[in-house]
A = this chain, B = another copy of it.
Amino acid sequence: MTFLSDTALKHELNARGFRSTPQRQKVLRIFMALTQGEHLSAENLHQALEEDGEHISLSTVYRTLHLMVYMGLLRELELAEGHKHYELNRPMLDHHHLVCVHCNQTLEFSESSISEIGKKTAETSGYQVLDCQLTLYGICSKCYMPEART
């Protein structure tokens, strides 16, 4: 599921009653070309497409992101910047995020036990799990200076 050819994507879509479109193929290709740790906002993705010479409307960008999250192909991250970021969902290579609520610095870390917990919990509740995110919010060492206060 980490890499999906155009025809594999078409099958995934058609199996669920959706259509394969050039726009959807191009969006997924952008995400597959990112390196580990890169996240794109809707706006970032729109620009990345433009830079590739692909004009896709912002509406379609948003619609495609939602669809792919719904299908489990992308994960939607709410880090601290006020808009959502997206990345490929690779359950086998899962990683998590640590965010400074003051300066928004974001670190990634991996923790294999999380997906087990997710799987177990989802099963108990009758859910089909799409994504499993552990997010730690804190204050980084640069931002936390007790001596600077009062």
A residues sitting closer than 8 Å to B (CB atoms) are 14-17, 69-70, 75-76, 78, 98, 100-102, 107, 109, 111, 113-114, 117-118, 121-122, 125-141, 144, 149-150
Contact = CB atoms under 8 A, between A and B. Distances in A.
Contact of A117 (B102, B113, B139): B113
A147 to B, nearest CB: 13
Contacts of A15: 149-150
Contact of A140 (B14, B118, B127, B139): B127
Nearest to A102: B70
Contacts of A111: 117, 121
Given A98-B121, A107-B125, A135 B135 contact: yes
Given A109-B125, A127-B136, A134-B134, 15 more contacts: A15-B149, A15-B150, A16-B149, A17-B150, A75-B137, A98-B121, A98-B122, A98-B127, A101-B130, A109-B121, A111-B121, A113-B113, A113-B117, A128-B138, A130-B137
